[in-house]
Structure 1
Amino acid sequence: MEPDRPVGSSEVLIVGAGPVGVALGCDLLQRGVRVRLVDSAAAPAPAPRSRAVLVWPRTLELLRGIGVAERLAATGHRLTGIGYRSEGRLLGRAAVDRIADTPYPFAATLPQYETERLLLERLAELGGTVERGVVLEDLRQDARGVTARLRHPDGNEEQAHARWLVGADGAHSSVRKKLGIGFDGDTVDVTFGIADAPIDGPAARDTLHYCYTADGALGVVPLPDGLFRVAISIPHRDPAEPPPAGVFAEALRRRAPGLGELGEPRWTGSFRVRCRIADRFRDGHCFLAGDAAHIISPAGGQGMNYGLQDAFNLGWKLAGVLRGTLDAAVLDSYHRERHAAVARVAAVTAAQTRWGMIAGGPRRVLRDTLVRGAALGGLLRRRIAPMMAQTDVSYAADGLRRARPGHPRPGDRLPVFAPAAPEAPEALGAPEALGGPAAPATSAAPADPALDRDGFTVLVRRPSGPSGPAGADDRGSAAVAAALAGRPAVVRTVDDTASATLLRAFGPRPVLVALRPDGHVQYVAPATRSGLADLVRHLDGLAPRTRTAPEPAAARG
């Protein structure tokens, strides 16, 4: 072996170039961070094999911030609802297209290799590259950051230094193992067979179908090009041996009667699911994201989406710390927020997996009765659809309890989004682009404020008529802007011309809401002089401890 290569340096080293690692790389590059992205694989996963196929509305909202959402939506196929069936009978449907507070009232389906292709295209546009065939051999941390020993395809090794390291290197993460982080999990242990094939029959192409029978569970996901993803629970088997096509054809006939007959699959495969969550998502200067941090049941297609949410939760925090606008203590919130969110969805998807394994008897009757009752009572539309769409994700301290309309809490998601990419197709809902009927009108209004990508967006709720000392008019917004001068924040007004969904989220009272770059609430204060002073003090508390914050204008009188 030749001597070590020269020491390389970057601000963030990302190990793993799947969707999560590449999305994080795009987010950081767009914020001006020096990023290095390495992957042990010599090339991306080849077509047609693909495990993840669903991208839910909340993920599209976040991908919009890096200019990928519209490309992905135009490439994929649109699903507008989730149907629950038992022994061939439809129990109920959760309507994703009835979710009013998102510009993406649908799930986009496409193979994971297509998602990766679009993300890699965007990475290249931002000046990023992936170093392939580079293996993490070891890492060590000190007060300055992380030094990683990397082995290149030619066998030479390099000592690479970075301020921060992110392990997005999958379920068998080298980063997690080298940090000694535990990876415990749920008792769910099930093997799924998957096939992509056409279906000759009446299976609706706008619906994700969950089918429960005494023989086991089955999921049917419409894909582009007239294909369907068929996923079934099967006995444990060697994943190197693809299940025969007949297994899926028979399962479709027995577990989803009435949906149609399976055609010749493009490919088949199987994988065994053992749900796991890392003990901690941060260790000093190192972080875990995606499958390196958590593996959840594939029921509901949530896994890749939650990994991408990891990336967008972490990206703005790392960039703020590196740019000197945020104190490093803000990074402690990454584990707290994402671990809680993942634990919640892991419990839900594990329960859904167990529900699909109920063979019969009183438990089956109870399950079917509960689903049917939830459909008749509107619970599928009000709770299950937002949960599957991930628009109900909250980092609030009591995030399991839904926020009251008009009373946003720190950690809640608000329907305020980054501007769409300039090259976004105008007819986002066109049948040609999305494989279905035209989309309904979305919740956005021209007067809705846009989310700032780089700092906090402070929204001043300004109802018509007199409101309060902090500002019911443009002078009030100007006063807020003056008070926040020199801080990483922009001020925008929410008046009565905003969309109904945004007004419902705020309520009629004058209020100041600071939004994070990922669209979650950072702080809420009344629109008064004292409320503004509290907001300024809160934002100053997030600044690096060594920096002298400007004096709040409200305090100067």
Structure 2
Amino acid sequence: MNTVPATASVVVIGAGPAGMTAGIALADAGVDVILLDRLPEGVNTSRAAVVHARTLEVLDEFGVAEELNERGLVIDQFDLNDGSQRLATVRFDDLPTRFPYTLLISQATTEEVLLARLREAGGTVLRPYTVTAVAGDDTGVTVEFSDAAGDSGSIRADYVIGADGMHSMVREQAGIGFTGASYPESFALADVRMDWPDPRTEVALHLAPQGFTLVAPLPDEQDDRYRIVATIDDAPEHPDLAFMQAIIDDRRPGGQVREVLWSSRFRVHHRLADHYRAGRILLAGDAAHVHSPAGGQGMNTGIQDGALLGRLLARVLHGEPDRLLDRYEEIRRPVAQGVVTLTDRMTRMATLRPRPARALRNIVIRTATSFPSVRRAVAFRLAELTAR
């Protein structure tokens, strides 16, 4: 554990993908930036696994997209099924981008690559420090914290970025509302080794009266590692092999789970910060927006937040007017609003249970996606290329 200095130009609270991307942009511009995170290194259990085309474009500007591509698994197709019926296939391989695909890669690997790039740029992540108070005034922000031993301290910064997740202390201390609600279902998540009949170039969402199940391949030398995400009325805290096999048997027969590598239960919210800025305090990533995992949008939106915010903040610290920071909310909050709306619609559509509603849903999906222009528009939206 390193000692926290008395001052820094920018303190980023939270060293996940959004916080580290902001840190890289700032450090590249020569800004004195410190990241504080409450977790020891290597124990993050947040398990985002999708990097979309627009995010790869953004990360390519920092020189890390190539390494992510080398370590990830390229996916060019998304399938939507109801039982044995194929409702729609959306392809990414004709998108107008250098990265016409979705990349499957563990968040731990993404963070490892970003951390190396941050350190190369001169940024520093200090762990484990728990932020206890954040107070801004006209000249700066004071951040109070405690370390692993319970000792307290503080750091003074010109600006603070809160990238500290859904339960953001920074957002709470800044008095920024977080408007939205929660879904009634719980979600079971597991990384497993299993025999699966579908090609490993596809991600599939399987709809069923019992709930939806997403199956996505993960990069692995043995080519048998998959991510399963499923809605459950009341999932166990750590779903075991028998539980995950029952989900597959019930909703998509044909797969054989052989080992559960990691599992968790979580509940999903759809919420958006009322504002992204309170004076010299700004929000990014899950501190600013949370939503359903449908479409794999969360980490991607946060990384794009961090890239824009870091660059705008660097310009202000190099002498441009402070009002430039208002552009951050003007640009990024509507993007997040669109993501929250999209993923909410996808989740509600996927969790329909009455037979007549499901039948009507299937007809609408099949009819709409029979048009190539609609399929391409869906791929464009999922890839977040609308956020350019």
TM-score for both structures, normalised by structure 1: 0.66
1:97 and 2:93 are equivalent in the alignment: yes
2:135–2:173: 8 Å Cα contact kept in structure 1?
no
Higher RCO (CA-CA < 8 Å; seq separation 6+): 2
Query: Closer, same or farther in 2 for the Cα pair 1:269/1:174, shift >3 Å?
Result: same
1:87–1:213: 8 Å Cα contact kept in structure 2?
yes
1:232 and 2:230 are equivalent in the alignment: yes
Query: Closer, same or farther in 2 for the Cα pair 1:299/1:7, shift >3 Å?
Result: closer
1:290 and 2:280 are equivalent in the alignment: no
Q: Quote the residue 2:243 is aligned against.
A: 247
Q: 2:31 aligns with which of 13, 27, 33?
A: 33
Q: 2:252 aligns with which of 252, 256, 269?
A: 256
1:94–1:380: 8 Å Cα contact kept in structure 2?
no
Matched to 1:136, the amino acid is V
Q: Once the 2 structures are TM-superposed, how far is the Cα of residue 357 of structure 1 from its aligned partner?
A: 1.0
Aligned residues: 383
Q: Quote the residue 1:185 is aligned against.
A: 180
Matched to 2:267, the amino acid is R
Q: Once the 2 structures are TM-superposed, how far is the Cα of residue 44 of structure 1 from its aligned partner?
A: 3.1
Q: Quote the residue 1:111 is aligned against.
A: 106
Query: Closer, same or farther in 2 for the Cα pair 1:381/1:201, shift >3 Å?
Result: same
Matched to 1:24, the amino acid is A
1:16–1:37: 8 Å Cα contact kept in structure 2?
yes
1:368 and 2:367 are equivalent in the alignment: no
Task: List aligned pairs for 1:61-460, cutoff 5 A.
Answer: 61-99=57-95, 101-225=96-220, 226=223, 227-237=225-235, 241-258=237-254, 260-324=255-319, 326-393=320-387, 413=388
Q: Once the 2 structures are TM-superposed, how far is the Cα of residue 154 of structure 1 from its aligned partner?
A: 4.1
**TM-superposition CA deviations, 1:509-553 (whole Å, max 9, x none):** xxxxxxxxxxxxxxxxxxxxxxxxxxxxxxxxxxxxxxxxxxxxx
1:217–1:232: 8 Å Cα contact kept in structure 2?
yes
1:20–1:168: 8 Å Cα contact kept in structure 2?
yes
Q: Once the 2 structures are TM-superposed, how far is the Cα of residue 254 of structure 1 from its aligned partner?
A: 2.4
Matched to 2:292, the amino acid is S
Q: Once the 2 structures are TM-superposed, how far is the Cα of residue 7 of structure 1 from its aligned partner?
A: 6.9
Q: Quote the residue 2:12 is aligned against.
A: 14
**TM-superposition CA deviations, 1:279-327 (whole Å, max 9, x none):** 1110000001111111111111111111111101211110111112x32
TM-score for both structures, normalised by structure 2: 0.94
Aligned with 2:136: secondary structure?
strand
Deviates more, 1:28-37 or 1:375-384: 375-384
Aligned mates of 1:369, 1:130 — CA distance in 2: 51
Matched to 2:11, the amino acid is L
* Unmatched 5+ stretches in structure 2: none
2:39–2:128: 8 Å Cα contact kept in structure 1?
yes
**TM-superposition CA deviations, 1:210-252 (whole Å, max 9, x none):** 11112211101110112110111012346xx301222221221
Matched to 1:87, the amino acid is G
Q: Quote the residue 1:534 is aligned against.
A: none
Q: Quote the residue 1:547 is aligned against.
A: none
- Greater strand percent: which structure? 2
Deviates more, 1:279-288 or 1:157-166: 157-166
Q: Quote the residue 1:43 is aligned against.
A: 41
1:135–1:150: 8 Å Cα contact kept in structure 2?
yes
Matched to 1:252, the amino acid is I
Query: Closer, same or farther in 2 for the Cα pair 1:7/1:115, shift >3 Å?
Result: closer
Aligned mates of 1:6, 1:288 — CA distance in 2: 21
Aligned mates of 2:367, 2:29 — CA distance in 1: 47
Aligned mates of 2:247, 2:177 — CA distance in 1: 37
Query: Closer, same or farther in 2 for the Cα pair 1:366/1:385, shift >3 Å?
Result: same
Aligned mates of 2:375, 2:349 — CA distance in 1: 20
Matched to 2:219, the amino acid is P
Matched to 1:374, the amino acid is A
2:50–2:296: 8 Å Cα contact kept in structure 1?
yes
Query: Closer, same or farther in 2 for the Cα pair 1:360/1:165, shift >3 Å?
Result: same
Aligned mates of 1:114, 1:365 — CA distance in 2: 40
**TM-superposition CA deviations, 1:170-195 (whole Å, max 9, x none):** 11111111112111214533311011
Aligned-residue RMSD, C-alpha: 1.8
Aligned mates of 2:347, 2:32 — CA distance in 1: 41
